[in-house]
Structure 1
Amino acid sequence: MSETYLSTNRTMAEDGDFYVEANCCLLCGVPEDVAPEIFQTGKDYCFVIRQPCSPKEVDRTIRAMWASEVDCVRYRGRDPLMLERLARAGMKDQADYGESLNTPLLARDTVSFEMPEVRSHMTPVWFAHEFRADLRGKGKIVLPALFGKHSVWVSWFKNRFHRVHFADAGQGRFVASLGPTSAVQGLGWLLDDWLIAKGAKDIFWEKTGDPTSKSRTPI
């Protein structure tokens, strides 16, 4: 597999499992923003410059598939675990060999985490306050704490608010529950980015009541 750039919007990496469908890209800029080591924008559309080589690069590539404005990033591999992961994320239609999958959508709506050093002020109310303040600082619409000091209600489109509720899980761990909301994946990525920026560690996502669904990412 080569990372050599060609004279057109194509690279030798196009023969790998992940690729951008021809005549589909709208130059939305999302793939190269999420995974710049994997995607690059050419004159007319983005393309894969190399295949992901590590678990984190795979995670970012899948997130780019999910976040893109149109479903141009595709997977043509046959790895059963990857196909299942895409199906559980609602993206089996972006897999060339995903049409026969009967795997249901899996919405991971709970995340547990811990901080490198837990201090007395780090309570569920504190996490909610910090998350609320940081979201407002980024221009998100957030309801006041009067609606519950342990919860954050955020909207990024009109008046459709989505809830994140923080709680103490004991033994130095905390948990945040999402929803109920139809925007679990988007809200999950928003919270995941924030937790990482705050220095949280041992972050694990799962669907409420299903410990077998544990994952280090929302999808």
Structure 2
Amino acid sequence: MTKPPHRDAKPKGAADEQPGQVRASDTAASANVPLIVGIGASAGGLEAYKAFFENLESADGMAFVLVSHLSPDHASMLPELVARYTSLVVMEAADGMDVEAGHVYIIPPDATLTISGGVLQLSKPAPPRQYRFPIDTFFASLAEDQGDNAVCIILSGAGSDGARGLGAIKERGGLTLAQAAIDHIAIAGMPASAAATSLVDNIVPVEQMPARLKA
């Protein structure tokens, strides 16, 4: 009687896979993951966004998620306004969207935005004003989801939203940037609060940030 082959037998010609060996399919999958850049802003944010995207020559391999303080009572024109300054695809974020390179996703009003598995998670309504820290919330989820493949940027704005989330990004090896307080565009509250954590990698004018990302 012929002995049947063991069910774990490899097909003839199959190469032995060594421990720790990276398969080609794994490498390809990793190559498709964009560098996800979370950008937080409040008062003065539109001018900062304008300066950022007008100085972004290319966004190969990068995706951007903009988290702004928006009035919960009105529709936002921010996607239309930002689209004037960039050739990237600009859209309002929606629940279940995959984050793709070459795209800009913008939080809608009265919403909490997070990310899990590279997919945007959106819930409404947002918490009451005194408990609403949308930038911290998104940055913290970005840190948890992307680790050292995450970038956060704090732009113009009053208050301190974003500083705690920036700390979470830094703890997991991501890149942290803040707008220079001397920058004529900036309202210094949020960038200064970020700088006070001593966890910001670079404090630079907005115009220099795209080059820092490319570097």
Does 1 or 2 have the higher relative contact order (CA < 8 Å, sep 6+)?
2
- Structure (1 or 2) with the larger CA radius of gyration: 2
Identify the TM-score tier after normalising by the shorter chain: under 0.3
Normalized against structure 2, the TM-score is what?
Answer: 0.25
